[in-house]
Amino acid sequence: MSIQWFPGHMAKAKREAKEKMKLIDVVIELLDARIPLSSRNPVIDEITGGKPRIIILNKADLADPEITKAWKAYFESEGHHVLEADAQKGKGVQGIGPAVREEAAGMIEKMKRKGMNPRAIRALILGIPNVGKSTLINRLASKKIARIGDRPGVTKSQQWIKVGKEMELLDTPGILWPKFDDEAVGYRLALTGAIKEELFDFQDSSAFLLKELKKSYPELLKSRYSLEELPDDLLALFDEIGRRRGCLISGGNIDYDRTAELIFRDFRAGKFGRVSLEQPAD
Ligand code: GDP
């Protein structure tokens, strides 16, 4: 699912997320491991209002493992609890329960001190479209899915999903808008599937991708298109790929639209291997 974000949509998303915030103890912020900054909501701190938060670098299976490690250290240095995950296969998901419990330990301690019986910790998943929120919710719910709705303040369409003994998860995630800082952020979001592909020109996004791959992953690029050398010139690189893939128009000229779309789809399908499009060092 991709949403086109207008100011009205953003205001509504913010209002809804803040409303949900009243019900929960711990926020699970989902980021795309390939673009952790570009996939981060720009006002997440304001929305979560100081609630304990864990960060999950999802789709880590598609990202460069070394760079994901560097991002983990980066967010940890900001004081966050950080996990890597592949929600699709369920990898890393088992660490979420303990992390949430650790973040909520203070709250549980306080309840005990007041002589109250500690209740289950309530968590909410927040993230931009397509980052894997629903996949993760389904993973966490797995076999033990037990819907326990009808709590004050929870609308009918929202239910709590029991995860293990000590955690409850709101079954509808908070959908937030991504950054729209600059063109590069836009290309990263288009390439990773966070925004509608029609919003971006394939030639522009693919040119951005080829530059990134040439700079950081030349061997993966060569291997994908069986190239021995990478031409310096981007146009020559497009030509070479187009020719090799038979993206031609009459007269043997390169069909740039088709070539660009092919490169774009190859990236979306993970055909280059594990690639990150953003590094903390940038
Ligand atoms: P949502 O919009 O945030 O709820 O995103 P979805 O859960 O619908 O996931 C969007 C797409 O990403 C789907 O095609 C999922 O199968 C895929 N996906 C989710 N998590 C992962 C992951 O960790 N790795 C990979 N490779 N794909 C994932």
Atom 16 in ligand 1: residue holding the nearest Cα = 88
Residue 85 and residue 99 in contact, taking contact as beta carbons nearer than 8 Å: no
What's the 116 CA to ligand 1 centre distance in angstroms? 39
Q: Angle formed by the axes of helices 183-192 and 202-216, to 10°?
A: 90
User: How many Cβ atoms from other residues are within 10 Å of residue 109's Cβ?
Assistant: 11
Q: Are residues 17 and 111 in the same domain?
A: yes
Q: Residues with beta carbon inside 6 Å of ligand 1?
A: 1, 58-59, 61-62, 85-88, 127, 129-135
Task: Quote the ligand 1 centre to 244 CA distance (angstroms).
Answer: 31
Question: Is residue 193 in some structural domain?
Answer: no
Same domain for 167 and 247? no
Out of 133, 135, 274, mutate this one to test ligand 1's pocket (max ligand atoms within 8 Å of CB): namely: 135
Q: Is the pLDDT of residue 128 over 80?
A: yes
**What's the structural domain count of the chain?**
2
What pLDDT digit, counting tens, does each position of 236-268 carry?
999 999 999 999 998 989 999 999 999 999 999
Same domain, 44 and 108: yes
Beta strand 174-175 with 121-127 is: parallel
Q: Are residues 142 and 230 in the same domain?
A: no
Q: What is residue 142's predicted lDDT score, i.e. its pLDDT?
A: 65
Range of the domain at 122: 8-171
Atom of ligand 1 nearest to the CA of 173: 4
* Same domain flag for 43 and 150: yes
Binding residues for GTP: 58-61, 130-135, 174
CB count in 10 Å sphere of residue 161? 21
Nearest-atom index, ligand 1, CA of 86: 23
| Domain identity same for 76 and 22 | yes
Same domain, 230 and 161: no
Instruction: Examine residue 219 and state whether it is found in any structural domain, yes or no.
Output: yes
pLDDT 10s digits, 130-185: 999 999 999 998 654 444 444 444 455 678 888 888 899 998 899 999 998 899 99
Which of 87, 125, 127 minimizes the C-alpha distance to 3? 127
Domain boundary pick from 171, 187, 209: 171
Counting atoms of ligand 1 from 1, which one is nearest the CA of 62? 26
Which residue has the CA at smallest separation from atom 19 of ligand 1? 132
pTM: 0.92
Question: Between the CA of residue 160 and those of 17, 19, 138, 186, what are the distances in Å?
Answer: 16, 15, 12, 34
